Amino acid sequence: RKIGTAPAKTNSIPEDLLSASSGKHLRITAQNTRLPVLAEATVTEINEKSPMIKSFTFQIRNPQFDFKAGQWVDMFIPGMETVGGFSMYSSPTYLAETQTIKLGVKFSKWPPSHWLSTECQVGSTVSLRVGGDFFYAPEIDEAPHDLLLVAGGVGVNPLASMFYHAAHLYDLYLMDPKVHSPGKVLMLFSARNKQELLYKDELDEISSRHSRMKVKYFTTRETPNENSDVIGGHITEDVLRNTLSSMDLSSLKTFVCGPPPMIEAIESSLLKCNLEHHQILYEKWW
């Protein structure tokens, strides 16, 4: 796991909490930084994004709760020992404006995901703690740089948050040219079929407003229609090389999130395209 610069004033997971649960999320992320704020959150909306994936909107009850684009939350569900871990797909700005966050969760038998998919209702309450060292949060006076986001399946969640945050930075730059502006922002998003290309409408809407922000979609188990804007197949080395040809590699930042085999293949291809190790940041989901 390669990470970005750790946020300030963070704590590792408390020993008593770690020993109290056998949950895989806590074991895998035990060394990641975590913010000290534990916030109560209430479900206000549930939407089906695909047959296997639901979106959950949580109203946050603590004004000190904050996060950086790309981070996740520990989720403490009443009556459940296993602690969940889910990445926000909404942006930090959305939290500031609405006091809510959005999580995209795929159905599975893992207790936290299963509870969200089968038992959670509008009005259900949980506790959330922000964590993670994989995030996009450029300083206001940071020099512009290009940004490449490579997503596989529900691994799009933290990268969608980054994409939305980059759009917010563009909006700020248009109002005040003295603040940081991203360079070119490109996302390559692969899923099994078009139904699982999550948040496509939102991503496309941003692309239509910002000429330097684009998304290319790929489906690996479904052949797109002839006039579709979706490409059939995987994100290959040739795809990456062609994408990088229009970007400034000298200051490029690359974030990758998806299944471990995909990340390993993408990283290998990016290195063959002359990127440096320090330019490739990734987070695997299991």
Query: 7 falls in which pLDDT band (50, 70, 90)?
Result: very low
pTM of the full structure: 0.92
Q: Tens digit of pLDDT for each residue in 142-159?
A: 889 999 999 999 999 999
Q: What is the CATH number of domain 15-131?
A: 2.40.30.10
Q: Give me the residue spans of the domains in the chain.
A: 15-131, 147-284
Average pLDDT estimate for 53-82: 97
Average pLDDT estimate for 115-134: 98
For residue 88, what are the β-bridge partners? 103
Of 227 and 54, which is predicted with more confidence?
54
Query: 53 falls in which pLDDT band (50, 70, 90)?
Result: very high
Question: How many C-beta atoms lie closer than 10 Å to residue 180's C-beta?
Answer: 16
Average pLDDT estimate for 109-138: 97
Average pLDDT estimate for 77-98: 97
Average pLDDT estimate for 173-178: 89
Least trusted range by pLDDT, from 21-35, 82-96, 200-214, 252-266: 21-35
Rounded Cα distance, 68 and 237, in Å: 30
According to the 3-state scheme, what is the secondary structure of the chain? CECCCCCCCCECCCHHHHHCCCCHHHHHCCCCCEEEEEEEEEEEEEEEEECCEEEEEEEECCCCCCCCECCEEEEECCCCCCCEEEEECCCHHHHHHHCEEEEEEECCCCHHHHHHHHCCCCCCEEEEEEECCCCECCCCCCCCCCEEEEEEHHHHHHHHHHHHHHHHHHHHHHHCCCCCCCCCEEEEEEECCHHHCCCHHHHHHHHHHCCCEEEEEEECCCCCCCCCCEEECCCCHHHHHHHHCCCCCCCCEEEEEECHHHHHHHHHHHHHCCCCHHHEEEEECC
Look at residue 245 and tell me whether its pLDDT is greater than 80: yes
> What local confidence, expressed as pLDDT, does residue 25 receive?
86
Q: What is the CATH number of domain 147-284?
A: 3.40.50.80
Average pLDDT estimate for 151-179: 95
Of 285 and 177, which is predicted with more confidence?
177
Look at residue 22 and tell me whether its pLDDT is greater than 60: no
Query: 23 falls in which pLDDT band (50, 70, 90)?
Result: confident
> What local confidence, expressed as pLDDT, does residue 11 receive?
52
Share of the chain above pLDDT 90, in %: 81
Look at residue 21 and tell me whether its pLDDT is greater than 80: no
How does the average pLDDT of the chain come out, rounded? 92
